[in-house]
Copies of this chain bind each other. A is one copy, B any other.
């Protein structure tokens, strides 16, 4: 019994739109998932996310396992009750955050120092499954090994082998444990850096383990976009058509559309909200840096073409002021704008796929964002 069923409504080349049916309901694809690192998208609450029309929100296992602790989240009713969010949720495995801390990795798992108090913390594929079971998202991800790019062939090979071995252990353990929501989905993760042969091997070996969906990890970590797309192009066709395909950590407009064109269904990225907190606004005409002095007396909205509550009510001048003096309200209002932009881009992509016009949308978007 698959907890997730992909219902494709339209295709355009390799791109597809439709929805993923879940025990909770459904979410539309292509989907962008805002990142609620510690149980909230920075500055926003779950009512804001409803207003934005977000359908899936990601939370970071790494952060929640350290603060407040997975058992505390479970005691508070699990991630949905905890955050007051009735939409879908996904937790990453913690692997990516751990990776960036340069942990000690062995065949059995990883050991890293907590960012909160430096305490040595151990994560194994089984423990990641258990922790995510307690946190209780709709979708959990296997613990993987993510290599920094560029990497030597040996490093990439080891990352793929360990990721595959850990995926098998996670798959078995997830079937076994009871302390998780019924119908919780488990996604495997394809690694292999930008090596297309290794990507293919990793995809095939992961698919053999029969996951409920597939993450594509280890990309968008500094490599040129062309290399990322090349790796994607060999990976996606190897993934089963009836399972969601999730490209981890991509959220820039062009990257999103190029990946959708290759058949990716869902994405997460902190970029839209992080950029917002620094005043970098994503608009229909490209990036607007609100910190520029030219906006100090600007009475217009961030983006005249934007339907978000921030653009409806506040001027560039006001928002720039709040940002300049460090008012947390700025982070919130600007994040609402940037998320509206990215979620709107997903709407546009779905419409374009339905009309067979995704190429036009890609071209327009690239013209604005890659110039």
Q: Which residues of A contact B (CB under 8 A)?
A: 38-40, 42-47, 63, 67-68, 72, 75-77, 81-84, 296-297, 299, 309, 313-315, 317-318, 320-322, 324-325, 327-329, 331-333
Contact = CB atoms under 8 A, between A and B. Distances in A.
Contacts of A77: 299, 315
A299 B47 contact: no
Contacts of A296: 68, 72
A317 B76 contact: yes
A75 B317 contact: yes
11 contacts: A38-B322, A39-B327, A43-B328, A43-B329, A44-B329, A45-B333, A46-B313, A72-B296, A82-B317, A84-B313, A328-B331
B309 A47 contact: yes
Contacts of A43: 328-329, 332
A83 B318 contact: yes
Of A75, A299, A320, A328, which is in contact with the most chain B CB atoms at under 10 Å from its CB?
A: A328
Contacts of A332: 43, 45, 328, 332
A299 B333 contact: no
Of A39, A45, A320, which is in contact with the most chain B CB atoms at under 10 Å from its CB?
A: A45
A329 B318 CA distance: 20
A21 to B, nearest CB: 27
A319 B68 CA distance: 11
B309 A76 contact: no
Given A84-B313, A313-B46, A332-B45, A322 B40 contact: yes
B42 A317 contact: no
Contacts of A72: 296-297, 317, 321
Contacts of A82: 315, 317-318, 321
Nearest to A310: B45
Contacts of A327: 38-40, 42
B76 A299 contact: yes
Contacts of A68: 296, 317, 320-321, 324
A317 B329 CA distance: 23
Contacts of A333: 45
Nearest to A322: B40
A324 B76 CA distance: 16
A266 B201 CA distance: 72
Given A68-B324, A72-B296, A76-B299, A40 B317 contact: no
A297 B76 contact: yes
A321 B328 CA distance: 18
A51 B49 CA distance: 17
A325 B38 CA distance: 8
Contacts of A317: 68, 72, 75-76, 82
Given A45-B333, A77-B299, A332-B43, A67 B309 contact: no
A290 to B, nearest CB: 13
